Chain A
Amino acid sequence: MSNDKLQQAVLSNDRLEVTDSPRLRLDKNQSFGRTLRKNLFDGWKNIFLTIVTAVFSILVISQVVNFVLSNSWDVVYIHLRLLMIGQYPLEELWRIWFALYYASFMIGATWGLWKGAAKAVGLTFGTVYLIFAVIPWTTLNTSLNLAACITLIAAGFVIGHKIEKIKVAVLILWALYIPLTLGLIMGFGGLIDPVLSRYWGGWLLTVILASVSIVGCFPLGILLALGRRSSLPVVKYFCIGYIELIRGMPLIMVLFIGQLLIPLFLGGSTGMDNVTRAMIAYTFFAAAYLAEDVRGGLQSIPTGQFEAAQALGLNKIKTTFFIILPQALKAVIPAMVGLFITILKDTSLVAIIGLADFLGTARRISNNPEFLGRYLELYIFVAAFYFVFCYLMAYVSRYLERSLSTDNR
């Protein structure tokens, strides 16, 4: 009890509050000028540092602004379609739009139902849609589709906000999202025409590769982590061997093995296209790393939890899945999201096996004779785009971490 009170007292004491910029805290009672003087021009060392930093910042910012304004960004906007979806056939574009509609509505509904981090996701997607919709180089068709996406986010939000009952339906629809949209994008058996993976490219390919390997590596990684702690020697040593073997190899080599050795061993008759081979390579690679992250979580669970579960009469499977794993996974959310962000960015390595992901497409475009030497604008665009989505993932992970933490340890 007294412990709790003490904690509250500590928390309420704002001197211990941790903020990102403790020095530049604006005090409402002070004028702006005084705050400035107190925080930035406090003693000659501070004055010196402030001036140096200011000069440096002005230099950098003016250079950046100068670069942004003095360059014509035509190389980026002419190739927006290539950068986003690669060579995906135009007449089949409705499939991508459907996937985006679906995602927009779901994000909106999630935002309405659960609030929290989904708000950031919804706002980010909405902003990105809006930017692409209003820049003058998008066609009217694209702008309308993007406007529809924004509307769907809003509609989803309203529906989710009003009708609490659809929670289960939304969860089921989320679970179906990747199989459904991926099936649509590649065309499933006989129902609609297939769009061969050789036409996938750009951000579309990056997202497909990353999401399939993230979703695929998750169960595999958990199984490997559990297997590594198993008491059955065969299972245990297989898992250890697998994890250590994969972790002992560079990702490029795993990709090469998937790309070159598998067809050589199987005589080229695998019928697997190179996107599938890359997906498999990424999934197996990421699973080994995820397994180690999860193992860290498993090991952090105190034995008391096992004993308590045993005392309640839960069997081993129930203990693992209802008591241990939820706590273990929660503990390693930051590490897992770090891994997922890495996977998203590592997909750019497919360039070495002849696939054109987001970055690879930018490289392709910079080798178009009409745009030779215009790589800088492309790379900046690619970097900014990657940053927005990686930062979004990191933000959501931080939020999940905060909202799931029960402070019981």
Chain B
Amino acid sequence: MSKYGKYLLSAAALLTLSACASRDDEVQGVDGDNSTAGSGETLSAVIDRGELNAGVNDQLPGFGYVDSDGSYAGFDIDFARAIAAGVLGDADAVNFRPLSAQERFTAVQTGEVDVLLRNTTWTASRDTEVGLDFAPVTFYDGQGMMVPEDLGITSLEDMEGLTIGVETGTTTELNLADQMEALGVEYNTQTYDDRDALIAAYEAGSVDAWTTDRSGLVSSFAVLDNPDDHVILEETLSKEPLAPAVLHGDDQWNDVVTWIVFALIQAEEFGITQDNIDDFMDSEDPDIRRLLGVDEDLGGYLGLESDFAYQAISQVGNYGEIYDRHLGPDTQFDLPRGMNSLYEDGGLQYSMPFR
């Protein structure tokens, strides 16, 4: 009898554990409600620590990666550095914590990282159930589709019966299914564990097309043997607004991250760059004086130094500089600004007024 009892017990324990693990993977929101941070706690913790804990990606070219010297670099990394510069006055006071897609939300929930800058899409469930709060979108992305030019495909409707490659464990597979179902197109999917394998399969012709975020598709041109033979379809399969995330409940910390991101966008709107920022310190424009903390102490309202925007811009650069440094024409990605242009250039990047 005790033999069976033992089996039952271990089976029950196993089930509980696996249930916990899988629930954790998918929803991430188990403790979202009771692990919220009190207002102001994070900011004072960061200042006391003298270091910002930033959860980042270390394997996404252009956004977060490790360069040949072993230091972190990329678009998301620079935003973490800007936040550290704004809060602590030192862009290097960041402890980068590389996170996998699976553990990123838990790391925020447990307070292991103060801010998550890991190409995370702002969605309703993550904002509510997972217990995150999002700062302004730093990068508007969307899912796209790459096909060989000689197939003559111009839209998703032409893809009847084709085999499409996707990465496993991403939302791209689900988005693809949603779109294709809406269009009533029959297709086959082939899933791959990593992008290198997927691209290799696409080049070898094992799949007819492949889909991922547009930024990823564009950056893959650098890897393809004959980049000119491939096109990205005009259609966007899904919206992927990537934004910094903090733990829900600490409004002050959320404000801090939000306004530092806005400061970088506002600086580009004003034409303030890393190099010319000192010329703007004696500008007559009251808007600029407020942003740089010359007149009004907007930083003080946030619990920061009045020159927080100055520090962030002078140490890291404005939004456009960060973009160009990692994704712009001088990089191998040469990713068009598109939706990420300033609103005055027809894009979506728009800072709320510093007033």
Please list the residues of chain A having a beta carbon within 8 angstroms of any beta carbon in chain B.
78-79, 81-82, 86-87, 198, 201, 237, 240-241, 244-245, 248-249, 253, 256-257, 259-261, 263-264, 267-268, 351-356, 363-370, 372-373, 375
The one of B20, B25, B112, B223 that contacts A373, using a Cβ cutoff of 8 Å: B223
Verify A268–B10 contact, CB threshold 8 A.
Answer: no
Verify A253–B21 contact, CB threshold 8 A.
Answer: yes
Verify A372–B219 contact, CB threshold 8 A.
Answer: yes
Verify A86–B68 contact, CB threshold 8 A.
Answer: no
Knowing A253-B21, A261-B21, A369-B331, the reply to whether A82 touches B68 (Cβ < 8 A) is yes
Cα distance A260–B196 in the bound complex, in angstroms: 28
Please list the residues of chain B having a beta carbon within 8 angstroms of any beta carbon in chain A.
2, 6, 9-10, 13-14, 17-18, 20-21, 24-25, 30-31, 35, 58-62, 65-68, 70-71, 95-100, 102-103, 106, 109-112, 196, 199, 219, 222-223, 331-333
Q: Which 9 residue pairs are nearest across A and B when measured between Cβ atoms?
A: A268-B110, A373-B223, A263-B110, A87-B70, A367-B59, A354-B98, A369-B61, A268-B111, A260-B106
Q: Which residues of B contact A355 (CB under 8 A)?
A: 98
Knowing A248-B10, A368-B66, the reply to whether A253 touches B30 (Cβ < 8 A) is no
Q: Which residues of B contact A257 (CB under 8 A)?
A: 17, 21
Cα distance A198–B219 in the bound complex, in angstroms: 29
Cα distance A268–B21 in the bound complex, in angstroms: 17
Q: Which residues of A contact B98 (CB under 8 A)?
A: 354-356
Knowing A354-B100, A369-B333, the reply to whether A253 touches B18 (Cβ < 8 A) is yes
Q: Which residues of B contact A241 (CB under 8 A)?
A: 6, 9-10
Cα distance A201–B219 in the bound complex, in angstroms: 27
Give the distance to chain B from A67, nearest Cβ to Cβ, in Å: 15
Verify A351–B6 contact, CB threshold 8 A.
Answer: no
Verify A367–B65 contact, CB threshold 8 A.
Answer: yes
Q: Which residues of A contact B97 (CB under 8 A)?
A: 198, 354
Give the distance to chain A from B6, nearest Cβ to Cβ, in Å: 7
Q: Which residues of A contact B14 (CB under 8 A)?
A: 245, 248-249
Whose C-beta in chain A lies nearest to the C-beta of B68?
A78
Verify B110–A81 contact, CB threshold 8 A.
Answer: no
Q: Which residues of A contact B60 (CB under 8 A)?
A: 367
The one of B21, B103, B222 that contacts A369, using a Cβ cutoff of 8 Å: B222
Q: Which residues of B contact A373 (CB under 8 A)?
A: 196, 199, 222-223
With A79-B68, A256-B24 already in contact, 9 other A-B pairs whose C-beta atoms are closer than 8 Å: A82-B66, A198-B96, A241-B6, A248-B10, A364-B65, A368-B66, A370-B68, A372-B222, A372-B332
